[in-house]
Amino acid sequence: MKRRIAALALAAALIPTLAVFTSADDTIPYSNSVDWDKFRGENITLNVYNWGEYISVDEGGEDDFDTNREFEKLTGIKVNYTNFATNEELYAKLKSGGASYDVIIPSDYMIARMINEDMLEELDYSNIPNYDALIMDRYKGLEYDPEERYSVPYTVGMVGLIYNTTFVDEEDLGSWDILWNEKYANEILMFSNSRDAFAIACKYLGYSMNTTDEKELRAAANALTDQKLLVQAYVMDEIFDKMTGGEAALAPYYAGDAITMINDNPDLAYIVPREGTNLFVDAMCIPKGAKNKEAAELYINFMCETRTALANIEYICYSTPQREVMDYLDPELASNPICYPDDEILDNTEVFIALPNATTKLMDELWTSILTANSTDPWTIPVFLVGCLGLSIGINVFRARKKKANGQ
């Protein structure tokens, strides 16, 4: 989900892949189930809003596939492509009404929330034939969009535990409880966003990560407060440097990014704890107020094309929900258990759903108090007050003396 990835490392890792497979790439034709030329000459511009580093671009390589340029060539529709860094940023942008987009790619729970708040347009799947033809059934009708009305999956992934094999003992692994193991005090990194952090605490305690029960949430908050003494830092993107540089031994993070980190530092390894984990889906949607809904659907269909999806997934290293891509994918990537784990692991996952407002508010409140609980010295307030008092008395005395001196 959060992925302002170190693009260069990723690109470096992918160059051999592309070199081998672009020949196959070129031979994959676009399907002709839709009329790609429908909007040619109408001078339409599509506003696409996606995560950073989340689409195949031309980086100067000989056979690099530039998704948006290919789309422009194929359909004659211009693409105005912009990035966001978090789901919440996307939400705030749309909610404030400051911008108009035609295609957005939020994550599961944000999609559910937007559906709840009537922010998404229903898709006309007859304009997106690739959805029925090519998207794996496993990723259809998930909890965030149970009736399959608003979204088309783009990528999937899960959260796992990244660890440094030189610091972590094999026998401690296997459960989320290692993040509460005192042996690794000050060696643990943790998510700095409340939703992911609470999800891990809930799984550790055996609750659902979508719990709305206040007692369970408070128990999770207590667990996180206990954990804080062992946590070195709460991070998002900083994790790349800290894990590859050996600053920390353990960190939960997203599977696709784990591959990037392991490529940079072979001492790192990845495991999915047995309690299960979070499966996330980033899916393409059309927000309310989109100006070119049909063209946007054409774009979504294009993104599901085998050729496009293959280029994108090889670029971003996440897992694909597109059936045919697996046939063309670099066997090394396709057989990588981090990206494409066994069904057993996949079945033991939960997808985030939108939580009620009261629950998200409580969660953020608890999260704030976790992050501030131990950091404030109890003497801070008295010292601060005395300081302020001293200052104001000082100033007044000073002024009085000055006045007296002047009066003389």
Question: Using CB under 8 A, which of the segments 72-80, 138-146, 311-319, 370-378 binds other proteins?
Answer: 370-378
Binding of other proteins at residue 186 (CB under 8 A)?
yes
Asked if residues 182 and 232 have their Cβ atoms less than 8 Å apart, the reply is no
Closer by beta carbon to other proteins, 89 or else 177: 89
Query: Is residue 169 involved in binding other proteins (CB under 8 A)?
Result: no
In this structure, are residues 321 and 135 in contact, taking their beta carbons and an 8 Å threshold?
Answer: yes
- The piece of 143-151, 210-218, 329-337, 363-371 that touches other proteins (CB under 8 A) is 363-371
Number of amino acids touching other proteins (CB under 8 A): 49
Chosen residue from 226, 337, 361, 393 binding other proteins by CB under 8 A? 361
DSSP 3-state of 48: strand
Q: Does 247 bind other proteins (CB under 8 A)?
A: yes
Task: Indicate the pairing of strand 268-271 with strand 152-164.
Answer: antiparallel
Task: Pick the closest to residue 300 from 141, 82, 75 (CA basis).
Answer: 75
CB of 25 to other proteins, least distance (A): 37
Q: Does 195 bind other proteins (CB under 8 A)?
A: yes
d(CA 33, CA 335): 31
With both helix axes pointing from N to C terminus, report the angle between 7-27 and 306-316 in degrees, rounded to the nearest 10.
160
If the CB atoms of residues 113 and 307 are measured against other proteins, the closer one turns out to be: 113
What is the Cα–Cα distance from 378 to 380, expressed in whole angstroms? 5
Q: Is 294 in the site for other proteins (CB under 8 A)?
A: no
Q: Does 164 bind other proteins (CB under 8 A)?
A: no
Q: Which of 51, 91, 131, 315 binds other proteins (CB under 8 A)?
A: 91
From 12, 15, 381, 386, residue interacting with other proteins (rule: CB under 8 A): 381
Contact between 149 and other proteins per CB under 8 A? no
Q: In terms of C-beta density within 10 A (0-12 exposed, 13-18 middle, 19 or more buried), how is residue 371 classed?
A: middle
From the list 50, 261, 95, the residue with the least C-alpha distance to 163 is 261
Extract the tokens encoding 198: 């609470």
Residue 58 in contact with residue 69, Cβ under 8 Å? yes
Q: In this structure, what token pair is assigned to residue 170?
A: 């094999």
Q: Which residues bind other proteins (CB under 8 A)?
A: 86, 88-89, 91-92, 95, 186, 192-195, 228, 231-235, 238, 241-242, 245-247, 357, 360-361, 363-365, 367-368, 371-372, 374-376, 380-381, 383-384, 387, 391-392, 395, 398-399, 402, 405-406
